[in-house]
Structure formats: structure tokens, C-alpha cells
């Protein structure tokens, strides 16, 4: 009976040791998994940031193109306005000269 108890006690110690080893393996695996998850999140965040930077660059380019078009249109309209103003002033000046000649007569 003592031999049997001694054997059972030895098996119990071995099972306890095995359980402790398994718990340690589980802890190591869990830590490793958490580290991998953190690295994966960093990779995803970096990818998202690069994508956003690319989109932002495209938006900036589009805005620059639109501003250039608006600037060209403004200058075209400004020049047309200047031409029209010059025409109006010339017509008024000619009319003024004509009316001065009429007054002198």
C-alpha cells in the first residue's frame, strides 16, 4: 500500500509539474500572440496612413489644378473687362469731343 501511495504521490507531482509547464507555455504563447497583434495593428495603421497620405496628395493636386483653371478664367474675364471698359471710355471720349465741337459751332 505504501508503495502504491508513493507511486501515486510521484504521479501527482509529475502531473503538477506538467500542469505548471503547460501554464507557462500558455503564458508565453499568449504574450507572443499579443506582441504579434500589436505588430499587426502597427502595420495596419501604417498602411491606412499611407493610403490617407496618397488620397490627400491627390486632393491637393486636384485643388491646385482647379485653382489654376480659376486663375486663368479670372485673368481672361479681367482682360475682357478691361477691353470693354476701354471701349466704353473711348466711345464716351469720342462723344464728348463731338459735343464740344458742336458747342463750338
Residue 2 scores a pLDDT above 90: no
Q: What is the pTM of this model?
A: 0.53
Question: Residue 71's pLDDT is what?
Answer: 96
pLDDT in tens, 4-40: 999 999 999 999 999 999 999 999 999 999 999 999 9
Helix, strand and coil content of the chain, in percent to the nearest 5, comes to: 100, 0, 0
pLDDT in tens, 43-61: 999 999 999 999 999 999 9
| CA atoms in the 13 A half-sphere facing the CB of 23 | 6
Amino acid at each position: 500500500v505504501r508503495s502504491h501511495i508513493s507511486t501515486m504521490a510521484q504521479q501527482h507531482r509529475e502531473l503538477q509539474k506538467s500542469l505548471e509547464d503547460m501554464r507557462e507555455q500558455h503564458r508565453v504563447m499568449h504574450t507572443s500572440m499579443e506582441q504579434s497583434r500589436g505588430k499587426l495593428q502597427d502595420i495596419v495603421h501604417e498602411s491606412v496612413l499611407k493610403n490617407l497620405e496618397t488620397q490627400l496628395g491627390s486632393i491637393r493636386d486636384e485643388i491646385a489644378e482647379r485653382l489654376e483653371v480659376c486663375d486663368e478664367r479670372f485673368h481672361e474675364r479681367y482682360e475682357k473687362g478691361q477691353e470693354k471698359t476701354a471701349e466704353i471710355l473711348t466711345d464716351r471720349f469720342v462723344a464728348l469731343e463731338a459735343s464740344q465741337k458742336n458747342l463750338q459751332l
